[in-house]
Amino acid sequence: MRITPDRPLLLGSASPRRHEMIGLLGIPMVARAASIDESPVEGEEATAYLERITRAKLRAIAIGGIADFGGALVADTIVIGHGGELVGKPADDQDAAAILTRLGGVTHDVTTRFLLAEGGDREGQIAHEQTVTTRVTFRALLPGEVPAYVSTGEGRDKAGAYAVQGQAAAFIERIDGSYTNVVGLPLSEVVVAMHKLGWL
């Protein structure tokens, strides 16, 4: 089913960054926050976590109905540390400082999983699932940089405690893979998938 102004894309996200990125594409869109518990289960691997959370987000937005939309998009982004640990959003500024200190001078993975689900008479059926990983290398962080950055509040609601599109760009030595994936949505892969489904 094609996405049109009469049958827009339903974006299941409260993230202003995802709203902005979809908006840049000129795709007609309505946003509906997917309010779920995103806490990891003890011992849960990153891939299992992402699959569980994205499906839970889809169920959450489907409660309000998807039939009137051309399709639905949900996504979740996580940071996987140098040792393979799942790095979520910081609990507070002290936690943010600890996370950034661990990321300094090493390479970590930023992984996003997104789901596309059908609207119309095939409401809620998953049409496409994909996981995209980008490798991000931080330079060694200088004394005082971590507390100064944490004090800006920029990374408080972000996995890994930083925003690549903000002041933390100065920490990044190298990005291997999709930049928009690090922001929160791999736009190239999303658009290709939508074209394959005939949505665009």
Q: Report, as residue numbers or ranges, the catalytic residues.
A: 76
How many other CB atoms sit within 10 Å of the CB of residue 171?
A: 22
How many other CB atoms sit within 10 Å of the CB of residue 170?
A: 10
Residue 10 CA, chain-centre distance (Å), reads 16
* Residues 73, 91: Cα–Cα separation, whole Å: 27
Q: Which two tokens stand for residue 157?
A: 């609601």
* Residues 31, 126: Cα–Cα separation, whole Å: 18
Q: Which two tokens stand for residue 142?
A: 């200088």
* Residues 60, 56: Cα–Cα separation, whole Å: 6
What is the Cα Rg of the chain in Å? Answer: 17
Burial of 53 (0-12, 13-18, 19+ CB in 10 A): buried
